[in-house]
Chain A
Amino acid sequence: MSLLQAEGLTKKFSGLTAVDDVSLTVADKEFFGVVGPNGAGKTTLFSLIAGEVTPTHGRIIFDGTDITGWSADKVASVGLVRTFQLMRPFESMTVLDNVAIASHQRFRSRSEARRHALAVIERVQLERYVNAPSASLPTAGLKRLELARALALEPKLLLLDEVLAGLVPTERAPMIELLRELHADGLTVMFIEHIMAAVLALSERLLVMHEGVELALGDPHKVTQDRAVVEAYLGEDYA
Chain B
Amino acid sequence: MSDHATAVSETSASEAIIRRAAPYRLPAGVVAAVVVGLVLTYTLGGRDPGLVTQSVVTGLLLGGVYALVSIGLTLIFGVLGVVNFGHGAMLSMSMFIVYWMTTSLGLPVYLATVVAVPLMMGFGMLVQRGLLNKLTLEGNHEGPLLVTLGLSLLIINVLLMIFGGRPLSVPSSVEGSLRVFGAIASYERMIAFGGALLVALLLTLALKKTSLGMSIRAVSANSQGAQLVGVNVGRIYALTFGIGSACVAVAGGLLAPFLSLTPTVGEEFTILAFVIVVLGGLGSVVGAMVGGVVIGLVQTVGALYLPGTGSLILVFAVFVLVLLFRPQGIFGANR
Chain A positions near chain B (C-beta within 8 angstroms): 13-16, 18, 38-44, 85-86, 165
Contact = CB atoms under 8 A, between A and B. Distances in A.
Given A16-B10, A38-B3, 14 more contacts: A13-B13, A13-B14, A15-B14, A16-B6, A18-B7, A38-B2, A39-B2, A39-B5, A41-B3, A42-B3, A43-B7, A44-B3, A44-B7, A85-B4
B173 interface: no
Q: Which of B1, B5, B6, B17 has the most CB of A within 10 A?
A: B6
B4 A14 contact: no
Contacts of A16: 6, 10, 13
A15 B17 contact: yes
A13 B11 contact: yes
Nearest to B3: A43
Contacts of A44: 3, 6-7
15 contacts: A13-B10, A13-B11, A14-B13, A14-B14, A15-B14, A16-B10, A16-B13, A18-B7, A38-B1, A38-B2, A39-B3, A44-B3, A44-B7, A85-B1, A86-B1
Nearest to B11: A13
Contacts of B5: 39
A86 B4 contact: yes
Contact of B13 (A15, A38, A85, A165): A15
Interface string B287-298: 000000000000
A85 B13 CA distance: 24
Contacts of A165: 1
A44 B10 CA distance: 12
Nearest to A161: B3
Interface string B1-37: 1111111001101100100000000000000000000
B17 A13 contact: no
Contact of B17 (A14, A38, A39, A85): A14
Interface in B225-283: none
A210 to B, nearest CB: 13
A42 B5 CA distance: 12
B277 to A, nearest CB: 28
Contacts of A41: 3, 6
A39 B10 CA distance: 11
A165 B13 CA distance: 28
Nearest to B18: A14
A87 to B, nearest CB: 12
Contacts of A13: 7, 10-11, 13-14
A13 B13 CA distance: 9
Nearest to A53: B7
A118 to B, nearest CB: 32
A178 B151 CA distance: 55
Contact of B6 (A18, A85, A86): A18
Contacts of A39: 2-3, 5-6
A14 B10 CA distance: 7
Q: Which of B1, B2, B3, B7 has the most CB of A within 10 A?
A: B3
B21 to A, nearest CB: 11
Contacts of B11: 13
A43 B13 contact: no
Contacts of A86: 1, 4
A85 B4 CA distance: 10
Contacts of B14: 13-15
Nearest to A45: B3
B229 to A, nearest CB: 24
A41 B5 CA distance: 11
A86 B2 CA distance: 11
A38 B6 CA distance: 9
Contacts of A85: 1, 4
Contacts of B2: 38-39
B223 to A, nearest CB: 21
- The 7 A-B pairs with the shortest beta carbon distances in the complex, nearest first, are A38-B2, A43-B3, A13-B10, A14-B14, A39-B6, A16-B10, A39-B2
Nearest to A192: B3
Interface string B180-213: 0000000000000000000000000000000000
A42 B6 CA distance: 11
A233 to B, nearest CB: 13
A43 B10 contact: no
A77 B134 CA distance: 41
A165 B3 CA distance: 14
A85 B2 CA distance: 11
A156 B256 CA distance: 70
Contacts of B13: 13-16
A4 to B, nearest CB: 20
Contacts of A38: 1-3
A14 B11 CA distance: 8
A143 B11 CA distance: 28
A13 B4 CA distance: 13
A40 B1 CA distance: 12
B334 to A, nearest CB: 14
A44 B2 CA distance: 11
Q: Which of B5, B7, B14 has the most CB of A within 10 A?
A: B7
